[in-house]
Structure 1
Amino acid sequence: MSLFEETPQHIQDTIDRSLPLDPRKVANSVALPNSQEDGFSSVYRNQYSPDKLITVPYSGLDTSYALFENSVINNADKNCLGHRVKKEDGTFGHYVWQDYRTIKQRRNNLGSGIFFILTNNPYRSSTQVHERLNYDLEPGLESFILTIFSHNRPEWALADLACSAYSITNTALYDTLGPDTGRYILSVTESPIVLCSKEKIKVLLELKEKNKEELANLIAIISMDDLTEEDSYLQNLCHSQNMILVDYKQTEKLGEINPLPPRPPTPDTALTITFTSGTTGANPKGVVLPHKSAAANVAFMYSNLQMRKNAVFYSFLPLAHIYERSSISFALATGAAVGFPQGPSPLTLLEDVKHLQPDVLALVPRVYTKLEAGIKSQTVNNDEKPMLKALFTKAIDKKMELQSRKENEHINPSHILYDRVLNLLKKKIGLGNVTTLTTGSAPISPETIKFLKATLNTGFAQGYGMSETFAGCMISSQFEVESGSCGPVSVTTECRLRDLPEMGYTSKDEGGPRGELLLRGPQVFTGYYKNPEETAKSFDKDGWFYTGDVAHINPANGNRIYIIDRVKNFFKLAQGEYVTPERIENTYLSQFPYITQLFVHGDSIQTFLVGVVGLDPVSISQYVKSKYHETITEPEDIVCFLNAPRHKRQLLLDMNASVSGQLAGFEKLHNIKLDIEPLSVQKNLITPTMKIKRPICAQYFRSDLDKLYQEGSIIKNEKF
């Protein structure tokens, strides 16, 4: 307890004066003296705070609840959550907003209404889970777990805020999980209530009907959409499955009539359980993230993200994933306005941003590569308009050259003419206000970063993080000269590398230590939900979390960190050579812009590698036109054309030429299968964050892989 309590206004004024930090002060990592042990690198911390890890953005702001409360007081009348209203003709209008004061009141009403519905529920039983549904929960008892199930919308964020204010732990379902995983999550969490969009109600009814005993604790559904008289049949169906069905409007009204004050969490209270989709095909692991992890993540974001006051965010990536949760938590803590998509389809991105005009965009590589291909087709590859092509080629090349100069690190160098040209393009796309682009969750080509950073005349930062670290725990400078690193370790986290001699990575490697990345700090999760075995395997006796990612720390570049491989992803070829497919895939993807997906496969009884290649549907037509002077636009026709033996061989030779000097001969592909999008979440071959499920891919493509090996090496067979 402090003798003098600081006002929220004073806290915010102090934060605004001090943050974000000068990017030069946080740009590098430092090795702690005398911290190296046998089999490990030194311990690294951010140069800004080598003596201690920073846990919160400001003393006392140590939970998501405290961060939002402080933000409401300082931003009460500012836009908070916004959405586009659907018009009678089916189109969507401009964004409409509710301010921070209104959202706080709705949060309290929703939280109070949730408790009223659960405590007065006719299907409540004497199970241990249902005994924890009371508002006056005994100290020390864990909360019940509330489930959220919808695409991104204001009601999703409102549900999250209500859970935070009333110390309710939440989790999320999402469509790409599939019914089996959805059933597993509802079962293992014993969740008694789901807040969802209306179209998900039937999905939940089917799950409950097929798994009555397993989901017996599920007794309430709250629809984010208004229920009408026409929906009475849904309410009857829910009653037949021992569930009640109400909507947000009813729930908030019940909470308004029966108000309960917030039940503030502690830093150790579990905020959320985020289920990782995993790459093995087994049931996902539930990552338990306490409020202190969220607060530390906001501190990380504050220290790195350069943006204007009263910024506008666009919530595009699924809120069920921690990357987007992290972005929105930070936005709401800083008083930013958050606009949501018009619906679940990702195809509305550019239309929405033209209306929203956001300052910050947090996206993933697959979105950026599509944006890159679209811009190139209208500019540097626009053969139909040679004057326009020449102008943009000069402008973009000059901007890339300026941004690559060492003296321009951490700033965006200006050009009196070409900035105007590029800003007109940027505005036309709908990104006129964007000052910051961020990427994470999967590898991205450094060339894509350089191109978009120059073309859009804006900052572009690449981060690294996991569900287990509440998203990002390191991020590059927005104007890093040598694009490709994930920046230094953040002020909230320390790291070191573990030697992997069997993979050829050690802490004594020439050019800087390489090995498995280990993390420790307040952002790191507390364990896997109801899974002590996996938790024990993930931490050592000193509290280091074993990420499974292989990193390189480059002392020549400020000890910045590069993710280069995965620990478990290696195998031996027949001649005895060890191969790490993820590194090979990333190298091809970064150097050959006409492909967007790659699954590399090897076998201990084979001497060469084969692969499944996903072609970029936009740029591959340009490759065909420049190589063969053929104009083919339909994706199916392009695949057919390139699968012709001679064309496929030439494509593979060009792929291999692009990685010359970066991959050894035995690491290059010798035969490939081509398609537009062979790997998809719907096929259960990749995770929603684009990580390859290798065992499942190997099984799914078994006949194709066998055929490729039977055909043999096409790069050695000129007659093929």
Structure 2
Amino acid sequence: MSLVNESRQKVQQLLESTLPLDQLSLSHSVPLPNSAEDGFSPVYRNGLAVNGLAESIHPSLNTLYNTFKATVELKPNAPALGSRIRQPNGSFSEYQWESYATADKRQKNFGSGLFFILQNNPFKTNSEAHNRIDQHAATGDASFIVSIFSANRADWVITDLACISHSLTNTALYDTLGKDTSRYILSLTESPVLVCSKDKLESIISLKREFPEDLASLISIVSMDPLDESEQSLIASARAAGLTVFDIGQVEKLGEIYPVSEIPPKPETLYTISFTSGTTGANPKGVVLTHKNAAAAMTFCATVVPRLDNAKVMCFLPLAHIYERMSYSYALAQASAIGFPQGPSPLTLLDDLKSLKPHILGLVPRVYTKIEAALKSQTVNNEEKPLLSKLFTKAINRKIELQSVEDGADGKHLFYDGLISLVRSKIGFDNVVMVSSGSAPISPETVSFLKAALNVGFSQGYGLTESFAGVCASPRYEANPGSCGAISVTTEMRLREIPEMNYYATDKDGPRGELLLRGPQIFKEYYKNEEETKKAIDENGWFYTGDIARIDATSGRLYIIDRVKNFFKLAQGEYITPEKVENAYLSSCPLVAQLYAHGDSFKTFLVSIVGIEKEGTKNWLVSKNGVNSSDIESDEALVKKINEPEYKKAFLNYMNSNVGDFLNGFEKIHNIYLDIEPLTIDRNVITPTLKIKRPIAKKFFAEQFDALYNEGSLIRSVETKL
């Protein structure tokens, strides 16, 4: 079924008058009568989808091709893709825009050009992989796979749109995968062409030269950046390795000269293979996602994202991951102007925000905690201007109080909103009406502070690559932040009891157990991996997420509290689930930005690697512990000081005091090593989506763990007994 069932001519009018749905009506899940089975909770659906799940916004909007083309038809001259151009002096221009009509023309030409450079490629063979190129051009149903490898930019989207318009499947590589995983993906997918930024050319040519058999199908590279005479030796090197090299302008020109008809996809057409970043160090699994999955994800977005005319959005999170793919695809469907950052670093994000002034912003917790720290240092913790600090403390506390009255309370205040508008403007939030967070848990205190300090709605979502990103999102003005909201109108959920972890469907505060998902938004298979597919999806179509959830008994809202597989036993026999421990500290301690809890079956207590929020911790050391600020100016000095026994113990007491009774005594951390950002992708201890690679992290931090256990517990008064 669809959310709206009127003729195409009325679609735009209906969408404007109907969507988004009422946030409070949407924020409840309900159990379906007689749906509980032994070992499982009842099946839950959104309160607005009890009689059936939605597959698309409208029958005519059932593929990404249709949603994009509808926008091109309705608003061809609206700004679509915006970029900042680097100036000769190194600075960046204001945003320069391409219209929807221009983007559509470019993707048509680029798609046609791709067929030309592959069908006329001197390295094309009679292999099955290469035969699919001609077969697809003739019939439209034998898709080959286009690989994309670059940071976020307009050309990434042009490539994606060209694939959509010609029913081609694509996949993405990203820097943090490493050479071996990139080789694995290119080999597994038998991709004949890679579209990448110029800085990736040498590494890909070297990879082809080093592994010619594994990459036998790869015969062409398209550079997103112009190529000039200085690259001739590189192009010659590529040809010697069996690769042709073109730049995107050349391919678009060839497509303009030799056009081919678009091949509109069907709902069942494969859109993308999104490779998940595994936590074990094994090869990633390729999640196969169709246009039907994408249309359902667009439907989820339509219910929760404010509908704005001429909206601007920032495309900051990596397009290689499904969270940003969902966000930008919906932005295209809404005729939004999509701005790309000057680079992937959070350090330049505020400069881009001040130039773009977006209306909608989706980020991850680690970026929000940096924004929170920067705001606090300028407002409530501004020691250089105590009167300003006092005024902002009063204003923000009052806003938090007003926003906590009930769900939906935006906390408007005639005087304080004027004061807060100055803060919004300073960081480019002039127009922002909603921010969202995903990928990892975020502290409710951070949500409350940012909602108040920026006078903005804040929604925390939950989703996976396998669900084409979000399947639930909390109300933008949730009185008590912390939930992931109700399940979407596109998806149903149930929980599987796990008795060995004491999670039951009959728990008094609402059922607890492993979260299972089913519906049109959920994937059907892993690419060429039947074994893992069978492990993940049962005979009734339920996808086993591996996440432990609680469904609130009153509202039906979802809380992610744990993971299924990552539990271990302490020496005294108590079972520990580290995600539960980590989430408890992360959600209750604003000074904690990262946390990795570790236990040992020969030990009686937990130790932890803790990533501190730098500026907040500096203020804490100075204001609460009497440390001279000049002694902790550098990062090295701060880390050394905070790990001194006196301050480390005080910090641990702060952490355990904040977490309170939420954890049992044996679940609390007894010793810590503190650093500014100990868990990094470069160290290979977390995935690009910030999940901890526990087997690898355990080895990486083995020396610190040994030292912590040798030092012993710092909270012996509550140490667990044997």
The 5 Å alignment of 1:396-435 reads 396-406=396-406, 409-435=407-433
**Are 1:603 and 2:606 counterparts?**
no
Q: CA deviation at 1:388?
A: 0.5
SS of residue in 2 equivalent to 1:536: helix
Residue of structure 2 in register with 1:496 after alignment: 494
Structure 2 residue 592 is matched with structure 1 residue 560: no
How far the C-alpha of 1:135 sits from its partner, in A, is 6.2
- Counterpart-to-counterpart distance in 2, 1:411 and 1:672: 39
Moved more, 657-666 or 129-138: 129-138
Alignment partner, residue 460 of structure 1: 458
Between the two proteins, the alignment pairs up a number of residues equal to: 711
Aligned to 2:477: 479
Deviations 1:424-458 (Å, cap 9, x if unpaired)? 11111111000010000101001100100111101
Instruction: For 1:642 and 1:424, locate their aligned partners in 2 and report how far apart those are by CA, in whole Å.
Output: 34
Rounded Cα–Cα distance in structure 1 between residues aligned with 2:9 and 2:220:
40
Q: After TM superposition, give the deviation of residue 345 of structure 1 in Å.
A: 3.1
Are 1:587 and 2:584 counterparts? yes
Q: Is the 8 A contact 1:307 1:436 kept in 2?
A: no
Q: Distance in 2 between matches of 1:580 and 1:671?
A: 17
CA shift, 1:576, in A, is: 1.0
Give the aligned partner of residue 700 of structure 1.
700
Whole-angstrom distance in 1 between the partners of 2:711 and 2:343: 46
Matched residue type, 2:311: A
Q: Percent identity?
A: 53
Equivalence for 1:257: 257
Instruction: Give 2:267's aligned residue.
Output: 267
Alpha carbons 2:205, 2:241 under 8 Å: kept? yes
Q: Does 1:628 align with 2:625?
A: yes
1:198 aligns with 2:204: no
**How many angstroms apart in 2 are the aligned matches of 1:503 and 1:309?**
49
Stretch of structure 1 that moved more, 656-665 or 507-516: 656-665
What amino acid does structure 2 have at the position aligned with 1:479? Y
1:272-317 CA-to-partner distances (Å, cap 9, x unmatched) read 0000001111000000000100110001100111142221110000
**Structure 2 letter corresponding to 1:367:** V
Q: Which moved more, 1:706-715 or 1:286-295?
A: 706-715
Of 12-21 and 349-358, deviating more is 12-21
Distance in structure 2 (CA, Å) of the matches to 1:333 and 1:504: 44
Q: Who is 2:538 aligned against? A: 540
Residue in 2 aligned with 1:70?
70
Give CA-to-partner distance per residue, 1:643-688, whole Å, 9 cap, x none. 2222222221222122121111111111112211111001110011
Alignment partner of 1:178: what SS? helix
Equivalence for 2:573: 576
Residue 161 of structure 1: SS of its match in structure 2? Answer: helix
Aligned-residue CA RMSD in angstroms? 1.4
Match of 1:657, SS state, is: helix
Equivalent in the alignment of 2:520: 522
Query: Cα distance, 1:482 vs. partner?
Result: 1.2
Distance 1:355 1:140 in 2: 42
**TM-score of the aligned structures, taking structure 1 as reference length:** 0.97
* Distance in 2 separating the partners of 1:636 and 1:491: 49
- Of 494, 504, 508, 1:506 maps to 504
- What TM-score does the superposition give when structure 2 sets the normalisation length? 0.97
Name the SS of the counterpart of 1:551 in structure 2: strand
Is the partner of 1:661 in helix, strand or coil?
helix
2:180 aligned partner, one-letter code: D
Mean CA deviation greater in 126-135 or 99-108:
126-135
Structure 1: how far apart are the matches of 2:132 and 2:428?
Answer: 48
Q: Is the 2:136–2:142 Cα contact (8 Å) retained in structure 1?
A: no
Q: CA–CA distance in 2 between the matches of 1:660 and 1:482?
A: 18
Distance 2:183 2:713 in 1: 45
Shift of 1:716: 2.4
SS across alignment from 1:306: coil
Structure 1 counterpart of 2:25, one-letter code: K
1:41-60 equivalences under 5 Å are 41-60=41-60
| Alignment match, 2:247 | 247
Residue 147 of structure 1 aligns to a residue in which SS?
strand
Partner Cα separation in structure 2 for residue 438 and residue 397 of structure 1: 22
Match of residue 551, structure 1, among 520, 525, 549: 549
Measure, in 1, the Cα distance between the counterparts of 2:639 and 2:455: 35
> In structure 2, what is the Cα distance between the partners aligned to 1:476 and 1:670?
33
1:372 aligns with 2:384: no
1:304-453 equivalent positions in 2, closer than 5 A: 304-406=304-406, 409-453=407-451
Q: Do the aligned partners of residues 83 and 146 (structure 1) sit closer, same or farther apart at CA in structure 2, a change above 3 Å counting?
A: same
Gaps of 5+ in 1: none
The alpha carbon displacement at 1:71 in A equals 1.1
Q: Which moved more, 1:635-644 or 1:286-295?
A: 635-644
Instruction: Note the alpha carbon deviations across 1:465-521, whole angstroms, 9 max, x for none.
Output: 000000001001100111000000000000000001111101001111000000000
Question: Retained in 2: the 8 A contact 1:307–1:359?
Answer: no
- Runs of at least 4 residues of structure 1 off by over 3 A? 5-9, 135-142
Q: Secondary structure at the match of 2:237?
A: helix
The C-alpha deviation readout for 1:220-271, integer Å capped at 9, x for no partner, is 0001001111111111111011100001110000000011111011111110
User: Match of 2:15?
Assistant: 15
Asked if residue 146 in structure 1 is aligned to residue 143 in structure 2, the reply is no
Deviation at 1:717, TM superposition (A): 8.9
Q: CA deviation at 1:141?
A: 4.8
Give the match for residue 713 of structure 2. 713
What SS does the aligned partner of 1:670 have?
A: strand
Cα distance in 1 for partners of 2:219, 2:8 equals: 40
* 1:175 pairs with 2:172: no
Q: Secondary structure in 1 aligned to 2:133?
A: coil
**Counterparts in 2 of 1:198 and 1:588: CA distance versus 1, 3 Å:** same
Structure 1 residue 86 displacement after superposition: 1.5
Aligned equivalents of 1:94, 1:648: Cα separation in 2: 45
Amino acid at match of 2:564: V
Give yes or no for the alignment of 1:279 onto 2:279: yes
Q: Which amino acid aligns with 2:456?
A: T
Amino acid of the residue matched to residue 598 of structure 2?
A: H
Whether the 8 Å CA contact 2:409–2:479 is kept in 1: the answer is no
Aligned to 1:186: 186
1:193 CA displacement: 0.3
Per the alignment, do residues 51 and 8 of structure 1 end up closer, same or farther by CA in structure 2, a change over 3 Å counting? Answer: closer
Q: Give the counterpart letter for 1:659 in structure 2.
A: V
* Structure 1 residue 601: Cα displacement: 0.6
Cα distance between partner residues in 1 of 2:203 and 2:409: 50
**Are 2:136 and 2:143, in contact at CA under 8 Å, matched by a contact in 1?**
no
1:520–1:544 CA contact under 8 A, matched in 2 = yes
The question of whether the paired residues in 2 share the 8 Å contact of 1:440 and 1:462 is answered with yes
609-618 or 29-38, larger mean C-alpha shift: 609-618
1:135–1:249 distance in 2 versus 1, CA, 3 Å: farther
The worse-fitting range, judged by mean Cα deviation, of 252-261 and 614-623 is: 614-623
What amino acid maps onto 2:653 in structure 1?
Answer: L
Q: Does 1:616 align with 2:608?
A: no
Aligned-residue offset at 1:140:
8.4
Cα drift, residue 6 of structure 1? 8.0
Conservation of the 8 A alpha-carbon contact between 1:307 and 1:435? no
For the residue of structure 2 that corresponds to 1:233, the secondary structure is helix
